[in-house]
Structures are given as structure tokens and as C-alpha cells.
Structure 1
Amino acid sequence: MPETETFRIPKHRRHVPGARQRVSKTLADWGITDELADDVTLSANELVTNAVAHCQVTHAQVKVTLTLREPYLFLEVHDPDRDRLPKPCDPGPDAEGGRGLTLVRLLAHGWGHAQLPHTKCVWARFMLPERPERTGHVPAAL
């Protein structure tokens, strides 16, 4: 059975840091640390920021879901502006933004989006590192 954590934030920039902290805490609670935790947290920050910045539905909420399902960790960010699909762009060197989806593409082992009946979902998939209990390897006794 996969582990899942879901939460919602109001569609406002001031709530993005709280979403990032919640993702980071969930990952720590699941024992996910180091580079993978940094990659997922940064990707969540970018996807939530995009949802907050580009969703044109008034008084909307953004839903964030993390799912741990071997061998992957999935990050999903939903917003109700289902017809505004994300488009990676190539900003100029002096642009202050526009690199979020490119960053997610580089950090994740896959990403995409889906139009659902009432929302759109932008997702990223991250490969979990192998641990001895996942491979059947038993450490030698000391």
C-alpha cells in the first residue's frame, strides 16, 4: 500500500513557502533525505509557484500530493484552471523567471501533466534510491 500525503493551500504566493516546508517535513518523516529530498522540495516549490502564478480561477486552492510507491516517489500539483496547460519555455539569459519546468525536467525522472474532469495535474516522478531491504541484500554481521 503506498504512503500518501495530501494538502491544500490557497492560491496566493505567500503560501508557497508553507507548501515547501510541508513537503520537506513529509519527506523527512518518510526517511527521505539528502539530494532526493532537495530535488523533490525544489520541484514542489517550482510547480506550486507555477500553479499559484498562472491559475486564473478566482479563490482557487492548489492541491499537493506526495505518494511513495516503490520504486518511485510521485509529486502532483493540482489547480482548477484545467485548460491552461504548462509549456516549458526558453527564457533569455537576463529573464528573471521561466525556468521552473526546465528545472523540474532536470531534477525528476519524468514529468508531465494531465487534464482531469475539474482540474489539471502537473506531476513529477523521482526514483527512490535502493536500500538493502529493497534488494534483499543482508549486511554481514559484525
Structure 2
Amino acid sequence: MKFFIVLLFAVLGHSAWAADPVPRKEVIERVDRLMRSLPTLTGEARKQGISDLYEIARSKEPGVWDAVLYFGYNVAVSADGTRTLSPKPERNDVLSKAIPVLISAIDDAEGVNNKAWWILICLQTDCPAPKRAVWEVWWKEGSKRFAPTPAR
């Protein structure tokens, strides 16, 4: 239950969610590069990539933190400031490779302080506990929604 409270605080901690700007282009590009590189990184470089993504996801700077949240979506902002999200299937190829890497980086001892867990809960709508085994089960059941788009 504690992790749901932490997640709620994290989301609500970013004031005026609907009024925040859409992520800036340079931040979107940085998140894209980091997500694409995760499966190829090892050791300290992988830890650094996860830390970099975490810092973006936890940023309080408008137009930054939601770049991870919206990684798999196109975002349209209406005149009243509300956002409409539509899936971005071309990102599924990246997510289908990056999500297992993030799951493997969950350290149960870190609990809600685990950086990989924070990134995972930002990337999709579910919020399993910060335990690797729980996320492995989640991935077995939910990986189909991140299936890569077939080449045409």
C-alpha cells in the first residue's frame, strides 16, 4: 500500500499537471536515446542510463518530467490545456526491449526508492509493488501490449 501512496504523491507532487507544457523536444530526444540504449548497456553504464532516466522522470522542471511518462504516446493539448494521449506503436519495439532491462534492475531491498521501478511506473498505467518477481509476472501477462509493430 505504501507504494501506491508514494506514486500518488509523485504524480500529484507535480503541480498543475494539465497546465504543464508538453515535454520539450530536446528532452523527448534524450529520453528516446536513453531508452534505446538501455538494452545495449551493461554494468555502470546501464546504472547511469537508469539514473539519467530517473532524474528526468523526477524533475520538477516544467516540460521535463513528463517526457518519460509520455514516451510511448503522442500527446495533443486542447485549448483548455487538457491532454489527449494516443498510443505510439512504433515505440513498442523500444519498450519491449527496455522494460525487461528495467525489471532486471529492480532491487527488492530498495523498495520504493528503486530508480528502475519509478521509470517502469511512469512508462505505463500499472503500479505493481517494487519487487522484481512481481514485475516479472506482470511482464509475462502484459508484454503483449508492448509487442513490436510488424514491419511492412
TM-score by length of structure 1 reads 0.28
The structure with the larger Rg is 1
Structure with greater proportional strand content: 1
